[in-house]
């Protein structure tokens, strides 16, 4: 678990997968868990579906005064494993950093797993199971959020689910909450 006062998180994904929404929901949940300082903000390149997207989140027990991008994250969250072929997702990851990847692979399948804490979850499979689709494409942000409490102690599954229920209503909220539960149970962690 990452336990420093300030935790910096970088989400890597593709446009349309919900990386920006995931960062926003994560900090809203962290606020519910008593953290006093939170920030979430996107970084866009080509603003189109499928293009690489980064989103940033900071969580702290104190007010946050930083206003820059995150260059040395404590945690990296990869919403689309294929992005790792074109983006060096571990660039700048702190020495004791953690990485959470949406994949069907095992943590030890990644060469960096000996250096960084590695967690994996099949967020795409979970999104498909719960019919979390936009234009037929799986939206993996809520499944990946369900796995985060196993990587980061500053946020609980209960607060993530409460935040989801505040954003969506009815059956859509229920499907997203169930996806977080599945991810929480299925995530494999090697640290």
pLDDT of residue 3: 39
Residue 52 lies in a domain: yes
Length of the chain: 191
Q: How far apart are CA 101 and CA 89, in angstroms?
A: 10
Strand 117-121 relative to strand 52-60, pairing: unpaired
pLDDT of residue 148: 98
Residue 110 lies in a domain: yes
Closest-CA residue to 95 (of 72, 77, 70, 78): 72
Residue 1 lies in a domain: no
Backbone angles phi, psi at 145, to 5 degrees: -60, -35
Backbone angles phi, psi at 39, to 5 degrees: -145, 145
pLDDT of residue 45: 62
pLDDT in tens, 9-66: 999 999 888 899 999 999 999 999 999 999 999 986 656 677 889 999 999 999 999 8
Number of domains in the chain: 1
Residue 118 lies in a domain: yes
**Residue 106's domain is classified under what CATH number?**
3.40.920.10
Q: Which helix (H) or strand (E) holds 54?
A: strand 52-60
In this structure, are residues 100 and 147 in contact, taking their beta carbons and an 8 Å threshold? yes
Determine the angle formed by the axes of helices 157-167 and 170-186, rounding to 10 degrees: 160
Q: How far apart are CA 24 and CA 121, in angstroms?
A: 20
Strand 75-78 relative to strand 6-14, pairing: parallel
pLDDT of residue 51: 81
Distances 126 to 100, 108, 121, 131, 161 between C-alpha atoms, Å:
15, 21, 9, 8, 16
pLDDT of residue 5: 86
**Entry pTM:** 0.94
pLDDT of residue 173: 97
pLDDT in tens, 73-114: 999 999 999 999 999 999 999 999 999 999 999 999 999 999
pLDDT in tens, 123-149: 999 999 999 998 888 999 999 999 999
Residue 134 lies in a domain: yes
Q: How far apart are CA 157 and CA 155, in angstroms?
A: 7
Residue 186 lies in a domain: yes
Residue 172's domain comprises 6-190
């Amino acid at each position: 678990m990452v336990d420093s006062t300030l935790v910096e998180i970088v989400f890597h994904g593709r446009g349309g997968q919900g990386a920006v929404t995931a960062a926003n929901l994560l900090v809203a949940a962290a606020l519910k868990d008593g953290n006093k300082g939170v920030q979430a903000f996107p970084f866009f390149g080509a603003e189109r579906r499928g293009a690489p997207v980064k989103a940033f989140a900071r969580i702290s027990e104190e007010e946050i005064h930083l206003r820059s991008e995150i260059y040395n994250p404590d945690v990296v969250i990869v919403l689309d494993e294929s992005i790792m072929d074109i983006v060096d997702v571990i660039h700048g990851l702190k020495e004791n950093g953690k990485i959470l990847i949406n994949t069907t692979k095992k943590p030890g399948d990644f060469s960096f797993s000996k250096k960084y804490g590695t967690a994996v979850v099949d967020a795409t499979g979970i999104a498909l199971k719960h019919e979390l689709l936009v234009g037929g494409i799986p939206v993996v942000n809520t499944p990946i959020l369900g796995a985060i409490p196993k990587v980061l102690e500053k946020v609980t599954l209960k607060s993530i689910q409460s935040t989801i229920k505040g954003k969506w209503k009815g059956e859509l909220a229920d499907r997203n909450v169930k996806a977080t539960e599945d991810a929480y149970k299925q995530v494999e962690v090697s640290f």
